[in-house]
Chains A and B, each alone.
Chain A
């Protein structure tokens, strides 16, 4: 093979694992980046300990004293609202001897109590036990040493809450860079606000986490992998080929990228398809007109009609397609990830449209749907194929490199954005 890349048999550093040759239009990623536990350990230190990671949506803890527990970046966290309405992210471990203080997935509580020895805490994290005198001194009462520990950084944008374990990280706003514009396109859909609908879906994929980051913004695989989904849309009369002229692929900075395109499917906000029936046509049209009224013709139609797949580096996907999924995933091992996915909708959404939103979600995006399982099959097949890496050591992500002008959605420039950032982060340079 006539390509100047290091011999995969030799030890590679992570910066050698991404090779870009613009002259020859070649972009290669070493398959070892998907399989090596040492690479994963380095990712934990350089990426998951230092990037902004999605924690949850404000609507999940709408009321004071609401809480959810969640694994983020290898930690166990509590995401909650205190009695005064302030939002917190605590490390879910008792400062006493380490037990997880909150064991329920979600709830509403005036205080948290560790079941192991009974240390208790206000929902603002302050130590609240009142042991008899002589047990504990000033450091415990008011000194802070017995309080729940806050995650070093917690910031939000449009009610999407993120944590960072690096106290010195740039602000969330700077980190999100141009991705904010695309979060706005989602957050602006509800006249009131947006909310997570029901509970999320959690599932395991036996593949490296970066395979799902790539897959979530990969338009190239759409027809080969999902022909049965498009057959289904066709069969029930849900396929539309007309559409608003979309913007294409955009690099959003810091490794984030988005593809934007005319929707072949219906969108509850706001693109009607015949299978929904005439009675919903007016309803969807009213929402469409409302968006145009609020944001003008161009932005209104863009929100209503187009679909967007976005990855915010390293592991947040916001895909605003036939439904909106907010999806994040963390590695359990180099060859295994846990995925959490939620549906997002407008809070005051009409009952019938909400139903369509949920059905659109489970038909395509859900693990029992007509599309996502086939993505999982592709990812797990890649992971398995990497067993051949001593002989076939490199992935090719070159599609579209010779193209003059802006990249196309089904090029692979969006993945190249991800990998350039990955290389930079792994070198400790970002």
Chain B
């Protein structure tokens, strides 16, 4: 995910090969999370980016008026990452093991080099013999004009009807 950047200029969403590049980018993201390379994961985000998880059942909610699970601006996201690197983030000490699965990748729009991408996800988190499962749909805006590509926003809409695992202590 580096030299391909220039290709993005003038790309349309239906261009052959674009989906593969987007998938590669998302697989890289998933791998960084699986491996707890959380600071490198944060580096995938553009300055000013947002990361959101709306309340279940309110996919289109606005964090200014609805109570979100996560509504990070760039600063809060950075602080989330800083926190997760500490032993005192007790819910992730010792660290859980995770696997991020992605499928159904669709490029729904490409506007001025920014790809709007959706994909389904399942994230497994295992700790102390308990496996938590999170699933739903990610909505990304990825700046394909940046080198390397940068995430401008990520919104993870949970498919569950309530938060069965009880907490969101990892990046899903």
Report which A residues bind B (CB closer than 8 A).
Answer: 105, 197-206, 225, 227-228, 231-232, 235-236, 339, 342-343, 351, 354-355, 358-359, 361-363, 366-368, 370, 372-374, 376-378, 384
Contact = CB atoms under 8 A, between A and B. Distances in A.
Contact of B89 (A203, A359, A374): A374
Contact of A231 (B57, B83, B163, B169): B83
Would you call the interface of chain A mostly helix, strand, loop, or mixed? helix
Contacts, number: 111
A228 B61 CA distance: 28
A235 B79 contact: yes
19 contacts: A105-B57, A199-B58, A199-B66, A200-B67, A201-B55, A204-B166, A205-B166, A225-B90, A228-B86, A228-B89, A354-B64, A355-B64, A358-B63, A362-B67, A367-B166, A368-B53, A370-B80, A372-B167, A374-B90
Given A228-B83, A368-B168, A376-B91, A361 B162 contact: no
Contacts of A203: 162-167
Contacts of A235: 79, 82
Tell me which of B90, B128, B166 has the highest count of chain A C-beta atoms within 10 A of its own C-beta: B166
A351 B64 contact: yes
Would you call the interface of chain B mostly helix, strand, loop, or mixed? loop
A337 to B, nearest CB: 9
B69 interface: yes
Interface in B40-97: 53, 55, 57-58, 61, 63-71, 75-76, 79-80, 82-83, 86, 88-91
Contacts of B66: 197-199, 358
A367 B67 contact: no
A219 to B, nearest CB: 17
Given A228-B83, A228-B86, A376-B91, A361 B67 contact: yes
Nearest to A379: B166
B69 A198 contact: no
